[in-house]
C-alpha cells in the first residue's frame, strides 16, 4: 500500500508560530498609526520617567543618523534621475520657476499669519526675562555668500559636508548633461534611475525603525523639558500652535491643495502622515526629506521628476514654519521691550523675514540663527536679542517640533500643486492615498 501525500494546505494565522503572528500583526498596522502610537507612548513615558529617559536617547539619535545618512545620496540620485527623465530642458525651467514662485508666495502668507496671530495674542506683553541667560546665536548668514556657495568648487566635498544646495546644483547639471548627451548617455540615465529606486527602497527599510526612534526622541524631550516648563512661554506657545494650524490647514490645505491644485485636502493629509510625524519628532526638514520624497511618489502620485526637483529645494528654502515663528518672535521682542511699531515697521518685518527665512538651516532651532537680522531692522540691539534667545532657547525644542509641521506640509503641498499643473501626477493614486 503506497502512502498518500496530503496536498499542501494554505498556512493560516492559527498555524503560524507566535513570533510570526506578532510580526504579521505589527506590519499589518499602517506605519503612521504605529508612529502616532509611539509618539503618544513616548510622551507618557518621558513625563513619568523624567531625566531617566535620556538613557534611551541613543535610539532616537540612531534613527536620526539613519535618516540623515540617506539625505545626500538620495538628493543627488533623485534630482539627477528626475531631470534626466524630463528629456526637455524647458520642462525643468517651467518646474523651477513655478516652484520658486510658490515658495515665496506661501512664505509671505506664513509671515503674515505670524504677524496677525502675534498681534492678536500679544505674547510679549508682561513677559519677564528674569533669570534668562543671554545667548548670542552668532552672525546671521551672509546672503551673497550663501548664493555663491550654491556652486561647489568640489562636488564630492559638498556631498561630504552635506551642503544640500550645492548638491542640488550639481545634480541638476548632471541630469541636464544626460539630456544633452542623448542616446549615448542612456546607460547613465538607467544607472541614475536604478540608484534612485534603490535609495527609496532603503528609505522604506529605515522607516520601519521610525516608531522606535520617535518613541525615544519624544520621551527624551518630555523627560528633560516636560509640559510644566512650557508654562513659562505659554502665550508664545499658543501663538505657535494656532499659527501652525492656520498655515498647515488653510494656507497649504485649502489655498494650495484645494484652490490651486484643484484637489481634496483629505487624501493629501492622509498620505503625508508619515512625513508629518517624522518632521515633528526630529524637528528637522532635512531629516524628513527622504520620507517626504517617498510619500510624495507612493502616496500622492507625484511623479519622480517633480518630487525629486521640488522637495530637496523645499527642504532648504521652504521654511514656512520658521518664517511664521521668526515673525512671531520679532513681535514678541518688540512687545516685551516696549518698542512701538508703525505700519512701515510691519512691512519691513514682513519683507525681511520672507527673505531671511529662506536661509534658515533645516536643523533644530535653526530659526534663532536668523532672528538677529530681523530684530536689527526694527532697532532691537544685539544685547536685547541675546536676552530673547536666552529666554527662548530652553523651551525652543518643543516649539520647534510644532513649527516643523508647516515646513513639511509646505514642501509637499507645493510639490502636489506643481505636479498637478505640469500633468506629472497620478490623480487616481492621490485619491486613494494610504500608507505603504
Residue 276 lies in a domain: yes
Lowest-pLDDT choice from 72-81, 124-133, 137-146, 281-290: 137-146
Characterize 234-255 residue by residue with b for buried, 16 or more Cβ atoms within 10 angstroms of its Cβ, and e for exposed: ebbbebbeebbebbbeebbbeb
pLDDT at residue 314 in the model: 82
Task: Report the percentage of the chain scoring pLDDT > 70.
Answer: 85
pLDDT at residue 88 in the model: 64
CB count in 10 Å sphere of residue 125: 11
Residue 147 lies in a domain: yes
pLDDT at residue 362 in the model: 59
Instruction: Using the Cα atoms of residue 409, residue 29, residue 218 and residue 117 in order, give the sign of their dihedral.
Output: positive
For residues 358 and 53, the model is more confident at: 53
How far, in Å, CA of 123 to CA of 265, rounded? 31
Task: Report the percentage of the chain scoring pLDDT > 90.
Answer: 29
Burial (CB < 10 A; 0-12, 13-18, 19+), residue 22, is: exposed
For residues 309 and 277, the model is more confident at: 277
- 409, pLDDT greater than 80: yes
Residue 408 near residue 279, CB atoms below 8 Å? yes
For 366-389, write each residue's pLDDT tens digit: 676 678 778 877 888 888 888 888
Q: What does the mean pLDDT of the chain come to?
A: 84
Question: Using DSSP, how many helices (H) and how many strands (E) does the chain show?
Answer: 21, 0
pLDDT at residue 188 in the model: 92
Cell numbers representing residue 51 in the block: 531625566
Residue of 30, 132, 106 lying closest to 357 (CA atoms)? 106
pLDDT at residue 137 in the model: 58
For residues 138 and 347, the model is more confident at: 347
For 120-132, write each residue's pLDDT tens digit: 998 888 776 665 6
pLDDT at residue 136 in the model: 61
Burial (CB < 10 A; 0-12, 13-18, 19+), residue 418, is: buried
How far, in Å, CA of 53 to CA of 64, rounded? 17
425: helix, coil or strand? strand
pLDDT at residue 161 in the model: 85
Residue 5 lies in a domain: no
Residue 17 lies in a domain: no
Residue 248 lies in a domain: yes
Q: How far is CA 115 from CA 46, 185, 353, in A?
A: 33, 51, 11
For 94-118, write each residue's pLDDT tens digit: 888 898 899 989 999 999 999 999 9
Residue 25 lies in a domain: no
For 163-202, write each residue's pLDDT tens digit: 877 888 898 899 889 888 888 888 998 999 899 889 888 9
pLDDT at residue 7 in the model: 54
Up-side HSE of residue 245: CA atoms within 13 Å toward CB? 6
Q: How far is CA 392 from CA 246, 308, 340, in A?
A: 22, 35, 22
pLDDT at residue 436 in the model: 45
Q: Give me the residue label for grid cell 498609526.
A: 33
Q: How confident is the model at residue 266 (pLDDT cuts 50, 70, 90)?
A: very high
pLDDT at residue 32 in the model: 81
Q: Please give the residue range of the domain that contains residue 375.
A: 30-431
Up-side HSE of residue 189: CA atoms within 13 Å toward CB? 18
Q: Give me the residue label for grid cell 524630463.
A: 86
- 365, pLDDT greater than 70: no
How far, in Å, CA of 105 to CA of 108, rounded? 5
360-363 long-range Cβ contacts below 8 angstroms, 24+ apart: 360/319, 360/322, 360/323, 360/326, 362/164, 362/284, 362/285, 362/286, 362/287, 362/315, 362/316, 362/319, 362/407, 363/283, 363/284, 363/286
Residue 4 lies in a domain: no
Residue 11 lies in a domain: no
The DSSP code for 122 is: -
For 32-43, write each residue's pLDDT tens digit: 889 889 988 998
Q: How confident is the model at residue 1 (pLDDT cuts 50, 70, 90)?
A: very low
Instruction: Using the Cα atoms of residue 36, residue 41, residue 44 and residue 46 in order, give the sign of their dihedral.
Output: negative
Lowest-pLDDT choice from 57-66, 142-151, 323-332, 338-347: 142-151
CATH of the domain at 256: 1.10.3860.10
For 218-241, write each residue's pLDDT tens digit: 898 888 876 665 666 788 889 999
Q: How confident is the model at residue 292 (pLDDT cuts 50, 70, 90)?
A: very high
Residues forming a β-bridge with 302? 425
Domains identified in the chain, total number: 1
Amino acid at each position: 500500500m503506497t502512502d498518500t501525500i496530503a496536498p499542501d494546505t494554505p498556512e493560516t494565522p492559527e498555524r503560524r508560530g507566535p513570533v510570526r503572528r506578532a510580526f504579521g500583526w505589527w506590519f499589518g498596522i499602517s506605519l503612521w498609526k504605529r508612529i502616532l502610537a509611539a509618539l503618544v507612548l513616548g510622551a507618557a513615558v518621558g513625563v513619568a520617567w523624567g531625566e531617566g529617559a535620556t538613557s534611551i536617547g541613543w535610539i532616537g539619535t540612531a534613527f536620526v543618523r539613519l535618516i540623515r545618512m540617506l539625505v545626500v545620496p538620495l538628493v543627488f540620485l533623485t534630482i539627477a534621475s528626475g531631470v534626466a527623465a524630463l528629456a526637455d530642458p524647458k520642462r525643468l525651467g517651467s518646474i523651477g520657476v513655478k516652484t520658486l514662485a510658490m515658495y515665496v508666495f506661501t512664505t509671505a502668507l506664513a509671515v503674515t499669519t505670524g504677524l496677525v496671530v502675534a498681534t492678536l495674542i500679544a505674547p510679549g506683553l508682561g513677559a519677564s526675562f528674569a533669570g534668562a541667560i543671554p545667548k548670542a546665536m552668532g552672525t546671521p548668514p551672509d546672503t551673497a555668500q550663501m548664493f555663491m556657495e550654491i556652486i561647489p568648487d568640489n562636488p564630492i566635498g559638498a556631498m561630504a559636508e552635506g551642503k544640500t544646495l550645492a548638491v542640488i546644483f550639481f545634480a541638476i547639471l548632471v541630469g541636464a548633461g544626460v539630456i544633452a548627451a542623448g542616446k549615448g548617455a542612456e546607460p547613465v540615465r538607467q544607472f541614475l534611475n536604478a540608484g534612485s529606486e534603490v535609495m527609496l527602497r532603503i528609505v522604506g527599510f529605515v522607516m520601519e525603525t521610525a516608531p522606535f526612534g520617535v518613541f525615544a526622541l519624544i520621551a527624551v524631550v518630555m523627560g528633560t523639558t516636560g509640559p510644566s516648563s512650557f508654562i513659562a512661554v505659554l502665550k508664545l506657545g499658543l501663538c505657535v500652535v494656532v499659527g501652525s494650524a492656520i498655515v498647515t490647514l488653510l494656507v497649504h490645505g485649502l489655498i494650495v491643495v484645494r484652490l490651486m491644485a484643484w484637489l481634496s485636502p483629505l487624501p493629501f493629509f492622509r498620505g503625508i502622515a508619515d512625513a508629518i510625524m517624522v518632521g515633528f519628532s526630529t524637528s528637522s526638514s532635512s531629516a524628513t526629506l527622504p520620507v517626504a520624497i517617498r510619500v510624495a511618489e507612493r502616496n500622492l502620485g507625484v511623479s519622480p521628476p517633480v518630487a525629486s526637483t521640488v522637495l530637496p529645494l523645499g527642504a532648504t528654502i521652504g521654511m514656512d514654519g520658521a518664517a511664521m515663528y521668526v515673525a512671531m518672535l520679532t513681535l514678541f521682542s518688540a512687545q516685551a521691550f516696549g518698542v512701538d511699531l508703525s505700519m512701515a515697521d510691519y512691512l519691513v518685518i514682513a519683507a525681511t523675514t520672507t527673505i531671511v527665512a529662506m536661509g534658515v538651516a533645516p536643523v533644530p532651532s535653526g530659526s534663532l540663527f536668523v532672528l538677529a537680522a530681523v530684530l536689527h531692522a526694527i532697532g532691537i540691539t544685539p544685547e536685547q536679542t541675546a536676552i530673547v534667545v536666552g529666554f527662548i532657547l530652553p523651551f525652543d525644542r518643543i516649539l520647534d517640533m510644532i513649527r516643523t509641521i508647516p515646513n513639511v506640509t509646505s514642501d509637499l503641498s507645493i510639490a502636489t500643486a506643481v505636479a498637478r499643473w505640469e500633468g506629472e501626477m497620478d490623480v487616481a493614486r492621490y485619491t486613494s492615498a494610504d500608507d505603504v
